[in-house]
Structure 1
Amino acid sequence: MNDWITWITSASTLTALVQIMLVNIVLSGDNAVVIALACRNLPPHQRKIGILLGTAVAIVLRIIFYLAITFLSGVPFLKVVGALLLFWIAIKLVVGEEEGGHEISASEQLWLAVRTVAIADAVMSLDNVLAIVGVAKGDDALAILGLVLSIPLIIVGASLITSLIQRFPVVVWIGAALLGWIAGEMLVDDPVVLRFFSANAPAYVAPYPDDPAGIGLKPVALLHYGAATLGVLFVLVAGFFMARQAGRGAAKTA
């Protein structure tokens, strides 16, 4: 017990714990957006449950990813698949917003909301955990404690965004655009994509000796921001046309 108290109150532990919480809070903005977007159509009495479950999913997935990061970070095409899933989720969210989402019963909506959060968090938590790995430096207890302490902050963020969505539906499109940005970033950060550019267009990658994923490469600013911007455009354009098509289909059946 005394050893644990000494460990938790040491300056190095407290400093690292604060760093992990800050990293998690900063990188959890997108997770809060996903939770808020997925829960926006739930009845008020279920919305809080959805946010709580979504936040729990986010934290549990990060702990699992942290414990398995050595394996996951080197899997080829993992981030490519993750990016494609994020594109799908972003477009599905805006199409659902335009359709209204009222044809699903309350209980099904809650389950669907939690499922959407689980898929999105499974994709987005990887980059979050890679950053935490760099701060924790192998201290599993420190990393997990920092993640758990971040739960209330994610809940507050998701609740705030949900309230904004109820007043300003355009926030859904902004959130979808954010997911498109993240997906674009993730796509060009995959080991296979980085190695492809390294072999065929080396001007678009740069050395990254401290890469926690162990690849040793990163996209240059032009590739990074270019891919992210294209991701936003893809989500907005595809979402617009698919939502319009869905609206026409609903009008014909009415």
Structure 2
Amino acid sequence: MNLADPIIWIALMEIIWVNILLSGDNAVVIALAARSLPPKQQRAAILGGSGAAIVLRVVLTLFAVQMLQYPFLKLIGAVLLLWMGVQLLAGNEGDGDITASSSPGAAIRTILVADLVMSLDNVIAVAAAADSAPLEARIPLLIAGLGLSIPLIIFGSTMLLRLMERFPIIITVGAALLGFVAAEMGMTDPSVSDWVHLHLHNLEIPIRLFCAAAVVVVGQQLAKRQEAGQRADEQTV
């Protein structure tokens, strides 16, 4: 693995950024599941649940990287990434049904199950980011990227959430990054990569930028519609 290759460092930064950005909900789940425990048990539940979730996520991501080598799966993954980026800006929340647990063991189980369900988007996005790196560097990059981002999620989740609330541009840039990665992922699918390289070679960057911009525009429009709907509901109450 050539560490002087800028593609490797770009892929590493994408892995870390995408994983942190998409793990905000997971951090909220951890806090909700452990909120009723005494402080010492809270720390045990958070560390135990997060540790188990990290192992699970690494395994799932390794499988995802291998699966993306099959035809058409990258195209499906690209569509999912575009949808994730739009939803990120639309602001759909799904954590309200996570109940507090009465023991560290129950909290760890809650965190693990919730993280398994909610980490599917992380797994696809991180695998897509790693896919842009040279083949021999993908596994080391995944391990390094996840290893660097997980501590930030566990110990800095509150700060990250506050920063995202204070500077919404962080969310917008993250959504655009998902659109950019989605286009890159789709164009490298084995079923279309040769055709893309032959006919769209000079348009690959513009297509990626277009997808990034499209995610932002569509996501913002959906967010505005949701806000208008909420205001209308409040006025009718």
Q: TM-score, normalised by structure 1?
A: 0.62
Q: Give matches, 1:149-228, under 5 Å.
A: 151-158=146-153, 159=156, 161-197=160-196, 202-205=198-201, 222-228=202-208
Aligned mates of 2:89, 2:186 — CA distance in 1: 21
- How far has the Cα of 1:91 moved from its partner? 1.0
- How far has the Cα of 1:106 moved from its partner? 3.7
SS of the residue 1:104 aligns to: coil
Aligned length: 206
Of structures 1 and 2, the one scoring higher in RCO (CA 8 A, sep 6+) is 2
> Which amino acid counterpart does residue 80 of structure 2 have in structure 1?
L
- What is the Cα-based RMSD across aligned positions, in Å? 4.0
1:251 partnered with 2:236:
no
- How far has the Cα of 1:253 moved from its partner? 1.9
Please list every run of 5 or more consecutive structure 1 residues that lacks an aligned counterpart in the other structure: 1-14, 137-142, 206-221
1:60 partnered with 2:59:
yes
Residue 215 of structure 2 is matched in structure 1 by 235
Aligned mates of 2:195, 2:56 — CA distance in 1: 34
Aligned mates of 2:146, 2:95 — CA distance in 1: 32
Residue 117 of structure 2 is matched in structure 1 by 115
> Which amino acid counterpart does residue 123 of structure 2 have in structure 1?
D
Residue 93 of structure 1 is matched in structure 2 by 88
* Inter-CA distance 172–81: structure 2 relative to 1 (3 Å threshold): same
Aligned mates of 2:115, 2:89 — CA distance in 1: 14
Residue 84 of structure 1 is matched in structure 2 by 79
SS of the residue 1:176 aligns to: helix
| Worse overlay, 105-114 or 35-44 | 105-114
Aligned mates of 2:30, 2:166 — CA distance in 1: 15
| Worse overlay, 235-244 or 57-66 | 57-66
Contact 1:32–1:157 under 8 Å retained in 2? no
* Inter-CA distance 135–176: structure 2 relative to 1 (3 Å threshold): closer
Aligned mates of 1:103, 1:39 — CA distance in 2: 9
SS of the residue 2:119 aligns to: helix
Contact 2:68–2:74 under 8 Å retained in 1? no
SS of the residue 2:191 aligns to: helix
* Inter-CA distance 171–161: structure 2 relative to 1 (3 Å threshold): same
Residue 20 of structure 2 is matched in structure 1 by 33
> Which amino acid counterpart does residue 62 of structure 2 have in structure 1?
I
| Worse overlay, 118-127 or 51-60 | 51-60
Aligned mates of 1:181, 1:54 — CA distance in 2: 27
Contact 2:187–2:193 under 8 Å retained in 1? yes
- How far has the Cα of 1:177 moved from its partner? 1.3
Aligned mates of 1:116, 1:103 — CA distance in 2: 10
- How far has the Cα of 1:134 moved from its partner? 1.6
* Inter-CA distance 56–90: structure 2 relative to 1 (3 Å threshold): farther
- How far has the Cα of 1:242 moved from its partner? 0.9
SS of the residue 1:190 aligns to: coil
Please list every run of 5 or more consecutive structure 2 residues that lacks an aligned counterpart in the other structure: 35-45, 101-109
* Inter-CA distance 228–179: structure 2 relative to 1 (3 Å threshold): same
Residue 97 of structure 2 is matched in structure 1 by 105
> Which amino acid counterpart does residue 185 of structure 2 have in structure 1?
M
